[in-house]
């Protein structure tokens, strides 16, 4: 008797929900271009919004509410279809294992928190900037960091022996952060990831088709948040490491 096969597309519903929201926003901007600027002013993250000395307070719509919600809503807006498509691929790749482990509610809160920390990091480095920040990259970076905390661990989806399709592999106890950093694969991923983002910041590489620079500081902020805050969202008890 043949064993049941895994479906080709096995994406957690919460990931599909986030992607659907991003696609809906992109469709709105495409079909209603005249409303694009007011929409961005209300929902994109704009550092200048928080400096009343630059412009009168009533220039940006939404008032105090927009000063709060744009820390998250910017993550559902993308510059163009290529930007959306690339982020969708990364979200599916790294968000899927984390969403399976966290569940819907925890993952949604995690997504919002890492997006907000990414925006706050960008604001700290680029205060008063008028260029809108859009895209889910900061939250996706947080998911990358969270995935690193368990996917390479023994018994995890990318454990030492071979990749696992066992659903239980997504719930292996994660080792403490310092223990995770001893894994050469985790260390190499961190070195390459931070190196690439710092390269964007130092050289200005990675411009989008529209000429907007990559928000590398937001990426780093989201990643660090995901790495450090992972235990607060993880429903699985941390692995106990016995001294050698």
Residue-range domains of the chain with CATH: 13-233 (1.20.1540.10)
- State mean pLDDT over 4-19: 77
Bridge partners, 83 (sequence order)? none
Bridge partners, 133 (sequence order)? 45
Among 103-117, 146-160, 208-222, whose mean pLDDT is lowest?
Answer: 208-222
Q: Kindly report the average pLDDT of the chain as a whole number.
A: 85
Radius of gyration, alpha carbons of the chain: 19
Stronger pLDDT, 146 or 244, i.e. the higher one: 146
Please say if the pLDDT value at position 168 is more than 70. Answer: yes
Alpha carbon 45 to its chain centroid, in Å, reads 15
User: What are the pLDDT digits (tens) for 183-240?
Assistant: 888 889 899 988 888 887 776 554 443 345 678 899 999 999 999 999 999 998 866 5
Cβ neighbours, 10 Å, residue 189: 16
Q: How confident is the model at residue 167 (pLDDT cuts 50, 70, 90)?
A: confident
Which alpha helices (H) appear in the chain, and where do they start and end?
13-31, 36-43, 63-73, 81-90, 96-102, 104-125, 137-148, 177-180, 184-203, 216-233
């Amino acid at each position: 008797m043949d064993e049941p096969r895994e479906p080709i597309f096995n994406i957690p519903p919460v990931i599909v929900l986030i992607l659907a929201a991003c696609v809906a926003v992109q469709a709105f901007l495409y079909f209603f271009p005249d409303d694009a600027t007011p929409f961005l002013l209300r929902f994109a993250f704009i550092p200048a919004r928080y400096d009343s000395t630059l412009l009168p307070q009533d220039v940006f719509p939404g008032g105090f509410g927009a000063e709060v919600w744009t820390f998250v809503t910017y993550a559902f807006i993308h510059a163009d279809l290529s930007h959306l498509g690339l982020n969708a691929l990364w979200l599916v790749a790294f968000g899927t294992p984390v969403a399976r482990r966290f569940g819907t509610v925890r993952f949604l809160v995690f997504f919002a928190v890492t997006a907000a920390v990414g925006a706050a990091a960008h604001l700290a480095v680029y205060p008063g900037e008028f260029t809108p920040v859009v895209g889910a990259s900061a939250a996706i970076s947080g998911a990358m960091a969270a995935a690193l905390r368990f996917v390479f661990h023994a018994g995890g989806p990318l454990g030492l022996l071979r990749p696992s399709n066992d659903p239980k592999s997504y719930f292996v106890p994660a080792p403490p952060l310092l223990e995770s950093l001893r894994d050469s694969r985790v260390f190499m991923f961190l070195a390459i990831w931070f190196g690439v983002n710092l390269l964007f910041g130092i050289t200005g590489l990675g411009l989008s088709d529209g000429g907007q620079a990559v928000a590398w500081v937001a990426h780093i902020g989201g990643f660090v948040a995901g790495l450090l805050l992972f235990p607060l969202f993880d429903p699985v008890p941390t692995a106990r490491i016995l001294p050698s």
